[in-house]
């Protein structure tokens, strides 16, 4: 096995720390419980996997280091140093308000900022007049508490909320 550089070793160390403390997730969803899978993820993120080409290895390590720099890792979040959303920021609102309709995620705030910067209203059109974007359809489905909305396409959401 080829020797790892110092940044690669640090990345492997961080990923294995996340695994040990139950913070490592596969695909951003499920917790990793298999130690072999944790090692595979660590080597892949560090750009030290045998299954990657040299160009892939460089790119992967660069992407991982950028993620670590912005604090977007499980370890940083667990230690309270990661990127914070409105729900985890510890604002003065009560827990119910944070979880409720008043709380917005960073992506929703970004979309709202972009739409208001263009000078448009809440119902921004996508070309044809009167047609809502997928994000707007999703928000309407969320408001109506339609089950399975997160997996629906734009067309399915439009049908569910009665736009088509």
State pLDDT tens for residues 26-41.
877 788 889 898 988 8
Query: Does 61 lie in the same domain as 112?
Result: no
Query: Does 138 lie in the same domain as 108?
Result: yes
Q: Are 93 and 84 in contact (CB under 8 A)?
A: no
Query: Does 150 lie in the same domain as 118?
Result: yes
* Nearest-angstrom CA–CA distance, 106 and 113: 10
Q: Which domain holds residue 117?
A: 98-161
Residue where one domain finishes, among candidates 46, 78, 110: 78
- What total number of domains does the chain contain? 2
pLDDT band at residue 154 using 50, 70 and 90 as cut-offs = very high
Query: Does 59 lie in the same domain as 123?
Result: no
- Asked, for residue 83, whether it belongs to a domain, the answer is no
Query: Does 154 lie in the same domain as 112?
Result: yes
What pLDDT is stored for residue 82 in this prediction? 66
pTM: 0.45
pLDDT band at residue 143 using 50, 70 and 90 as cut-offs = very high
């Amino acid at each position: 096995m080829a020797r790892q550089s110092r940044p690669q070793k640090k990345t492997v160390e961080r990923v294995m720390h996340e695994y040990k403390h139950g913070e490592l997730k596969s695909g951003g969803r499920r917790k990793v419980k298999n130690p072999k899978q944790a090692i595979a993820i660590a080597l892949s993120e560090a750009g030290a996997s045998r299954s990657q080409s040299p160009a892939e290895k460089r790119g992967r390590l660069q992407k991982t280091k950028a993620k670590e720099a912005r604090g977007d890792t499980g370890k940083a979040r667990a230690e309270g140093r990661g990127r914070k959303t409105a729900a985890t920021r510890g604002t003065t609102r009560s827990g119910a308000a944070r979880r409720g309709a008043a709380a917005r995620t960073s992506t929703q705030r970004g979309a709202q900022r972009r739409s208001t910067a263009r000078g448009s209203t809440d119902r921004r059109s996508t070309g044809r007049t009167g047609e809502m974007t997928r994000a707007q359809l999703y928000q309407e489905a969320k408001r109506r508490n339609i089950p399975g909305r997160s997996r629906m396409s734009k067309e399915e959401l439009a049908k569910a909320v009665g736009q088509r």
